[in-house]
Amino acid sequence: MDLSTYTSNNHCNVYVNSDVPEVCKEEPCVVGVDEAGRGPVLGPMVYGICFCPVNKHSELKASGVADSKTLTEEQREKIFGVIHENCDYVGWSVEVISPLYISNCMYKRPKVSLNEVSHNAAIGLIKRAIAAGVNVSEVYVDTVGPPEKYQAKLQEIFPTVKVTVEKKADALFPCVSGASICAKVARDRALKKWEFPEGIEIDNWGSGYPGDAVTKNFLLNSLNQVFGFPGIVRFSWSTAEKILEEKCVPVTWNEEEDEEEKDKTPSVLQFFAKKPKSSSVLGRPPQKKTHHFFTDRCLKSVESF
């Protein structure tokens, strides 16, 4: 799994894919979807898929795939090696979603929730597999949010595919377990090779989860009072936001226009024709003022056509 594209440019999202086995183009396939790194305040979130022919699903289970959270890093690396070696019938793909992208989404107006980011990543990976020629027949997904709603959403997008969304799917379906391992291996490798463009030299930030004392210590030690955290941190996490509020220099942003200019903003009522008065100085009704929208486009009012 070559993550050099991401490690050299870790503020952008990247896809990393295996080759698609020919058998996966010819025979109906199962596709499992899972993620790694949803909860940490540090590092990317990675979404992964793992696919193989329906009649090979049991063989994938025999390779030792399991929920990545129940395995050690050494076990995950070993099983990923097995998955990668079985490239004659197994394929995989991951999207590495940067911390900066996650924070930007959650600070947008309107806000893009982490659930929506997750859904979009899963949908994007499935679409990419189909576009690459994978004969997708069944999709199994570890749920994000209510499984019934998520399943209905995916089923509407992929009407010809049998979609199953369940809690703990990574422990129930081998293809989801495989996706879980691919995602976790990608995240671990991305963090190990993380490059700080800010020039920071810290290699121990703990687990990355908000409750980890080592992670909290890293947040405090890497903080700049003006610019905040380095790019590895998800600014939008409440743990990071609280530290920013307490430790950083407060900033007041100037409005684009001052209050006096705001008071001069024309009322929308002026764009509607006023009722003509009964008389005027010249004995004629007042001339209606045409809005520039119409004059710029050479448009005129007509009574009949």
Q: Which residues belong to the annotated binding site for a divalent metal cation?
A: 34-35, 142
Task: Tell me the C-alpha distance between 175 and 161, whole Å.
Answer: 16
Chain-centroid distance of CA 184 in Å reads 16
Q: For residue 2, which phi and psi values (nearest 5 degrees)?
A: -90, 110
Beta carbons within 10 angstroms of residue 13's beta carbon: 19
Q: What is the CA radius of gyration of the chain?
A: 28
β-strand pairing of 136-142 with 29-36:
parallel
CA distances from 248 to 106, 190, 223 (A): 21, 28, 8
> Contact at 8 Å (CB) between 95 and 120?
no
Task: Tell me the C-alpha distance between 208 and 99, whole Å.
Answer: 12
Annotated binding site: 34-35, 142
Contacts of 157 (CB under 8 A, 6+ apart): 123
